Structure 1
């Protein structure tokens, strides 16, 4: 008699994510940016443009109660944002059930949105790291070797921060750039909202209802996230366009994003064959 095992509630979801994850990196702007090395002047330009984006995010993304920029953001199903302190005081302790901004009553407590917190964290970290490279002593002309190392480090910092931010601006179903953000509270044990494209939200819900018999919350729009997506991609698209138009790739990348030496081996093999042919005919 064969044993029966309960289906792992995350098994199908993990299989789906693994299937998409193989191609996700190839679809990102940072995959293209990773092929290039940038000069000090170019890095400074990218830094200034990203700084403007971060400034706009901080201006628009504020708590509706204390009017401060939330380090940890909580959201109501109406799409209004609050900092963790205000959300805990007002909703998560049951003192308030109505949004002070739109006056809509909610049975659900305010929920954190970790994707936005991760984006804000990476933006703030990039500002601090980039400032370090822009100090007068950071790039000493009398120490060229040290300057080269620091510029390479800044290239790595830029790529890593862009990669982290872009990964959090991707739909949790199709793994592409978000198009019109909808948030879903996925389950009672997942204390957060997850972002989806409009259309992908209903496909995700149907996936769970059909395959696992689970009922998920009603998706709702979050327009502020659309603004962040637009502002961020405005910068990275410029970097990609600039790189393709005026720079030569300095790295060969495999599909998983690692540096691949296969093209170099092919080039060396080709040179060796040409050399042997020339040596044969010259003798």
Structure 2
């Protein structure tokens, strides 16, 4: 069944001096209905973080548009994009005095399904009619403690080391890459890609409710506004991409014998 993909992307500099997040939404040049969404949160001092995040978006777009998007190669595209960006960021580190790093989360809609990959603590959420179906787990110290049962997610949000990453692009070690998928897409599916400047201020339930009740544009506006209010003057860069699947009823052709004949001129 055909579907419409509604999308919106939004950013705010927060209370920082520089916007180091980068986002991107790209349609495939030849594959109808195929779309790439990217969110990257750059780190590394003046301009360095922004350059690292830009490299993530550039590598992802380059790999996406140059691929035929065969079903068996999607994860290779996602992993290749992250690894290519990592290599380029490491090269900047080796040839300059900067130490740029970045997170990465990528999602590809194709062939009626969605595939995603991430590294770091930018997140991908998948909701269906407001219910959380899947989300990425941050490559961070506190989320490892959550997995091991030492902390709850609520406690992790208040932990003093909540921003300590154990993997990101630009480190000496290769990036850890985790994958997820939704196959097939269904009516009511919504996806949220965002940096920690947004998800840090919302519960999963709040996110699901907003995405199910509002249009992508309205949801993005509400999320940015809510993050800014809850940050209370101490907010990080905020970035998000919202995608919603809306199925369209197929129009069956009217049989010839049911068609109304044209009126004859008198």
User: Same fold by TM-score, threshold 0.5 exceeded?
Assistant: no
Higher percent of residues as strand: 2
Larger Rg: 1
Q: TM-score, normalised by structure 1?
A: 0.25
Higher percent of residues as helix: 1
Q: TM-score, normalised by structure 2?
A: 0.26
